[in-house]
Chains A and B, each alone.
Chain A
Amino acid sequence: MEHIFQSLSQFWEYTGFANCSWQNLVMIGIGLVFITLAIVKEWEPMLLVPIGFGMIVGNIPMFPGLNIGVYEDGSVLNTLYQGVKQGWYPPLIFLGIGAMTDFSALISQPRLILIGAAAQMGIFGAYLLALLFGFAPNEAGAIGIIGGADGPTAIFLSSKLAPDLMGAIAVSAYSYMALVPVIQKPIMLLLTSDKERRIKMPVPRTVSKREKIIFPIVGFLITAFIVPSGLPLLGMLFFGNLLKESGVTRRLANTASGPLIDVVTTLIGLTVGASTQADKFISFKSLLIFGLGLLSFVIATTCGVLFVKLMNLLIKNPAKKINPLIGNAGVSAVPDSARVSETVGREIDPTNHLLMHAMGPNVAGVIGSAVAAGILLSFLG
C-alpha cells in the first residue's frame, strides 16, 4: 500500500498541476486569446492559431529533464525550434512569399517603391526609442525590426542579434501584423484631409512578361550588392519570384507558394509560440518590447502617409497625384496593409479602388524591410 502511495506521489510530481506557476497560466491564457481572435475575428488565423497553440504547448508545466521542452537539447520541439534559432525558416518563408507575390503593381508605377522605403522609418524610430529605454544596440536593432511588419524578417534578425529576446519580438511582430487594421486606420484618417482621401489614381499600365522576369533578377542584384548581409532573405524572395514569373518552373513555384510555405508557417508559428515559456518570456523587458513594437508600427504608418503627402507637393500634374491612403501600405504586412488602404478608401468613395495601387508600396516594403534587416545585421551582428 505504501508503495502505491509512493508511486502516486511520484507521479504527482511529474504532472503539470504540481509544477504549475501563475506565469504558466498567464501565458496559456494569452495563447487562448490568440486562438480566439484568430477563429472568432479571423485576425491572421494562419499565424495566430499556430502561435497561440504553441504558447499553450510551451507553457504546459513539466518536470525538467524529461527531454521534451523546447529549450532541452535534442527534444522533438527543440529540433523543430532549430529552424527558428538558426534562421532556416524565415528564408524558406521568403521563398514562398516571392513565389506568391506579383510585383506588377510596383513595376507599373516605380515611383511607389519610395513609399516602401519611407515606411521603414518605423524600424529606425523604434531603434532610437529602444536605445533610449536602455537596450543594448544589438537588442535595439532586433526590437526595431518589428516596425518592418515582417514576421520572418523579425525572427531572422532577432535570432542573429538578440536570441534571448526572439520570442517576445516574434510574438509582438505577429500580433501587431494581425492588428494592422486596428492600428493603421485612425492614423490614416488623422493625417489626411477629405479631399486627399478622394484622390483617384490613374489605372496602372499593363506590365509585360519580360519586365516581370527581369525585375527579380535586377532587384536581387541591386539590393544584394548594396546589402549582402540581407542575402538569405533577399535571395530567396527574388528567387521565388523568378520561379513564378519565368513560367517554366511552375511546379517549383507551386510547391514554394503552397505546400512548402504552409509547412514552414506551421512549424515557425508553433515553435515561436512554444518558445514563449513563462520563465523566459514574462518580464518587464517583454512588456517594453510590446510597447516599442506598437510604436514602431505607428511611426511606420505615419511616415508612409506623410511621405506620400510630401510626394504630392512635388507632383505638379493633378492627374498624377497619389492618394495618401496608400502610404500605410509601405508597412510590409502583405497584403493586410494594402487591404486597409482599399477599405478606408472605399469608405470615403465607394468607387475609388486603391488595392492595386497599394500593393506597390506593400511589396516594396517587403524588399525594404529585408534591406533594413541586412543593414542592421552588418552594423550590429
Chain B
Amino acid sequence: MLLVAMMGLRAQNVSDLIISEALAVPDSTGIMDDYGRRSAWVELFNKSTGTVNFGGCFLTDDRTNLKKSIIPKSDLRTKLGPRQSVVLFCSGNGQEGTFYAGFTLEPGKTIYLVSNDGHSIIDSLSIPARLPEGKSVVKLAMDLRQQDFQPQDSPAIPSPGMLNGDQNAATKAQAMAESDPHGWTLTLVSVSVVFSALAILWFLFWLFFDRPAKQAAKAKAKAAVPKTATGTPDGEVAAAIAMALDMEASGDDYAAIAMAVHLYMNDAIHDVEPGFITIRSTGAAWENKSRFFRKLPR
C-alpha cells in the first residue's frame, strides 16, 4: 500500500516533467539570458494537467554524477503550471540564478533530469553530435493524450518556452469546422453513442433484472392459482356455479354471486388486516378546561 501511495505521489509530481527541448550551440539569433549572453539552454515541460514544483530537482550531463546542478527549492517560480514549459540556461555557473545550470551543453552528450531524491532519473535527452548551430533537438507528443513524447531526429527551429510542434495547430472546434462543416458526422457519431450507452443499460437491466423478475412473477402466478380439493381451478368452479344459477336463481342472485366471485378472484377482498391502528383522541375529563376554573367569590 505504501508503494502504491508513493507511486501515486510521484505521478502527481516531478515524474510528469520531461526535457522537451535543448539547444547546445546558439547562433546570433538565439535568446539571451539575464546577463545578456546567448547561452545554451534546456527546456522542461510539464505534461500533466496539474501544477508541478521542480524545485530541488537536479540537472546533469554526467550519468555518474546525478547531483551535478541543483535547481533551488525556495523559489516560487519553480512551480510549473499544467502543460507549461520553462527554460534553464546552461551557463556553467549554477549560482547565477534559479534558472541556470552548473554545466555547459555540448553536442553528443546526454542531459538528465533527476528527481529531488537525487538518484531517480525522470527523463533524459541526447543531443546529436552533429546538431547544427542555432538548431535545437525537440521531443514531440506521439499520442493524442500528449503523454508519450519522443525525440525527433531532424534538427528543429528553436522554440524556447513555447509548445513544441505546430504553433498554429487548430483547436478541436476549428478542426471540426474544417473536417465537418455541416455537422452531420458529429451528429451521427454522437447520436449513435447516446443510443449505444442507453441501449447497453437497457439490455443489461432487461437481461439480468427485468426478464428474470417477470419470469419469476409468471411462475409465481401459475403456482398460486388456487385449486379445489378435487384439483379444479377456481375459474371452473365459477363456471359451474354460473351454470347452476342459470337453472334455478334470479337476476339479483346472479349479480351478488358474480360480484363475490369477481372480488375473490381478483384478490380485492382479503382476510389479512393491514396492520394499521388508528388511535383517535377522545376528550377526557382531564382535558376539560372548565374544571380548572375557579368560581369567583360573589
The reply to whether B190 and A114 form a contact with Cβ atoms under 8 Å apart is no
With A223-B197, A371-B193 known to touch, is A137 a contact of B183 (CB < 8 Å)?
yes
With A140-B183, A227-B197 known to touch, is A379 a contact of B172 (CB < 8 Å)?
yes
Q: Which of A239-295 contact B (CB under 8 A)?
A: none
Interface size on B, residues (CB 8 A): 34
CB-CB under 8 A from B195, the residues of chain A are 114, 117-118
Bound Cα distance A35, B82 (Å): 43
CB-CB under 8 A from B213, the residues of chain A are 205, 208, 211
Bound Cα distance A138, B202 (Å): 31
CB-CB under 8 A from B193, the residues of chain A are 226-227, 371, 375
The reply to whether A226 and B205 form a contact with Cβ atoms under 8 Å apart is no
Residue of B nearest to A115 (CB): B198
A228 nearest CB across to chain B (Å): 12
With A108-B210, A371-B198 known to touch, is A376 a contact of B190 (CB < 8 Å)?
yes
The reply to whether A381 and B172 form a contact with Cβ atoms under 8 Å apart is yes
A321 nearest CB across to chain B (Å): 17
Q: With an 8 A cutoff between CB atoms, is A128 at the interface?
A: yes
With A136-B173, A137-B183 known to touch, is A375 a contact of B204 (CB < 8 Å)?
no
Q: Can you list, as one digit per residue, whether each of A31-71 has a CB less than 8 Å from chain B (1) or not (0)?
A: 00000000000000000000000000000000000000000
Pick from B54-62, B174-182, B231-239, B264-272 the stretch touching chain A. B174-182
The reply to whether B200 and A117 form a contact with Cβ atoms under 8 Å apart is no
With A367-B198, A372-B190 known to touch, is A380 a contact of B205 (CB < 8 Å)?
no
With A108-B210, A117-B198 known to touch, is A379 a contact of B190 (CB < 8 Å)?
yes
CB-CB under 8 A from A376, the residues of chain B are 190
The reply to whether B176 and A380 form a contact with Cβ atoms under 8 Å apart is yes
Bound Cα distance A113, B190 (Å): 17
Residue of B nearest to A210 (CB): B209
With A368-B198, A375-B190 known to touch, is A111 a contact of B206 (CB < 8 Å)?
yes
Partner of B205, one of A110, A114, A131, A367: A110
With A127-B183, A131-B183, A205-B217 known to touch, is A222 a contact of B206 (CB < 8 Å)?
no
Partner of A113, one of B184, B201, B217: B201
Partner of B187, one of A107, A116, A128: A128
Partner of A124, one of B191, B197, B210: B191
B147 nearest CB across to chain A (Å): 15
Q: With an 8 A cutoff between CB atoms, is A121 at the interface?
A: yes
The reply to whether A371 and B210 form a contact with Cβ atoms under 8 Å apart is no
CB-CB under 8 A from A381, the residues of chain B are 172
B173 nearest CB across to chain A (Å): 4
B181 nearest CB across to chain A (Å): 7
A343 nearest CB across to chain B (Å): 26
The reply to whether B177 and A136 form a contact with Cβ atoms under 8 Å apart is yes
The reply to whether B202 and A110 form a contact with Cβ atoms under 8 Å apart is yes
Q: Which of A113, A123, A371, A381 has most B Cβ within 10 Å?
A: A113
Bound Cα distance A211, B205 (Å): 9
Q: With an 8 A cutoff between CB atoms, is A81 at the interface?
A: no
Bound Cα distance A371, B198 (Å): 9
Residue of B nearest to A219 (CB): B201
The reply to whether A375 and B201 form a contact with Cβ atoms under 8 Å apart is no
Q: Which of A110, A364, A367 has most B Cβ within 10 Å?
A: A110
The reply to whether B183 and A121 form a contact with Cβ atoms under 8 Å apart is no
The reply to whether A137 and B176 form a contact with Cβ atoms under 8 Å apart is yes
Q: With an 8 A cutoff between CB atoms, is A176 at the interface?
A: no
* Interface of A toward B, CB cutoff 8 Å: 107-111, 113-114, 116-118, 120-121, 123-124, 127-128, 131-132, 136-138, 140, 161, 205, 208, 211, 214-215, 218-219, 222-223, 226-227, 364, 367-368, 371-372, 375-376, 379-381
